[in-house]
Homo-oligomer: A and B are copies of this chain.
Amino acid sequence: MINQRSCVVLGGGGFIGLNLCRRLVDSGYRVRVFDRHCLFPEELSGAEWYQGDFLDAAGLEAAIGPSDIVFHLVHTTIPQSANIDMVGDVEKNLIPSLSLLEVCRKVRAARIVFVSSGGTVYGCPQDIPTPETAPTNPITAYGISKLAIEKYLALYEHLHGVEFRVLRVANPYGPFQIAHKNQGIVAAILSRALSNRRMEIWGDGSIIRDFVFIEDLTEALVAAALDRSDQRIFNIGSSRGLSVRDVIAAIEHQLDLKLDIDWEPGRTVDVPVSIMSVDRARTYLGWEPKTQFETGLQKTIAWWRSRRPDA
């Protein structure tokens, strides 16, 4: 699909952003990347790099133009850190998102596609798999600020006609996810396993998560950018629950080794089970999760090995 669409990927230097930029460049989009830094700058060829901080509204305004699709992937905190400094989480994520909305209104951007958090906005859900209509009672400040940003997006569409789509994403994994700031259990385990390091896991390994492969997620992001339905919020996951012990077993199986794990006490930020219902995305985006966990894991391990010739 080649067209003249132009987009800005805020947070394009990180795991999801990098994969998305590559997907967009490959499809002929004009892509601008806005971030403080990039994990793998050599992978961003074909995209225009805008170095900047999300807190700097003028920098945002320089990067975003009329009719742009703006992918908003920035979140400077993780569930654990947001609970420790809730005011900081608001100041660094919620308030700059309001500035971003104002920039998008002013320059007449075409649409904002926001990556929200399927694993935290619902809190401890009663319905599993969880649909988008489930109650939203986060048990982390991270989930609250994601949810509040969703509400402001809807408000800006109501007040000013700034279009938006929200993807409530499950646990993404895949190439270019590194064990950075403790995000991503697959990356965390692989990084330790491939360097023969001992690792800590919180809880008894029974918590269940929904792992979505990055290629499926980038397809969902592109579908959300082009969507013409009247829906606004979509869960994106695999619809399949795997316990942390399942993930460990799958990795041990594929690497043919035994991991050395310190089991630590569970954390208050972890909900016991999180599995997304993705029926709405199937129906309205024509999207579905195509990659089995075992296949995605194989590709991810191949990527880790390609960058670590010693492993």
Contacts and interface: CB of A to CB of B under 8 A. Distances in A.
Contact of A151 (B95, B98, B138, B155): B138
Contacts of A139: 155, 158-159
Contact of A268 (B141, B144, B152, B159): B159
Contacts of A136: 136, 151
B152 A86 contact: yes
A86 B90 CA distance: 13
A147 B155 CA distance: 13
B138 A144 contact: no
Interface string A73-98: 00000000001001100110011001
Interface string A18-31: 00000000000000
Query: Which secondary structure characterizes the binding site on chain A?
Result: helix
Contacts of A87: 95, 98-99
A155 B133 contact: no
B151 A147 contact: yes
A274 interface: no
A139 B153 CA distance: 10
A152 B142 CA distance: 11
Given A87-B98, A98-B87, A155 B135 contact: no
A199 B98 CA distance: 34
Given A144-B151, A268-B158, A90 B98 contact: yes
B137 A151 contact: yes
A140 interface: yes
A273 B238 CA distance: 39
A271 to B, nearest CB: 11
A148 interface: yes
Interface string A54-87: 0000000000000000000000000000010011
Nearest to A268: B159
Interface of A: 83, 86-87, 90-91, 94-95, 98-99, 133, 135-141, 144, 147-148, 151-152, 154-155, 158-159, 268
Given A90-B94, A147-B151, 17 more contacts: A83-B155, A87-B98, A90-B90, A133-B135, A136-B151, A137-B154, A138-B155, A139-B155, A139-B158, A139-B159, A140-B155, A144-B148, A144-B151, A144-B152, A148-B148, A158-B268, A159-B268
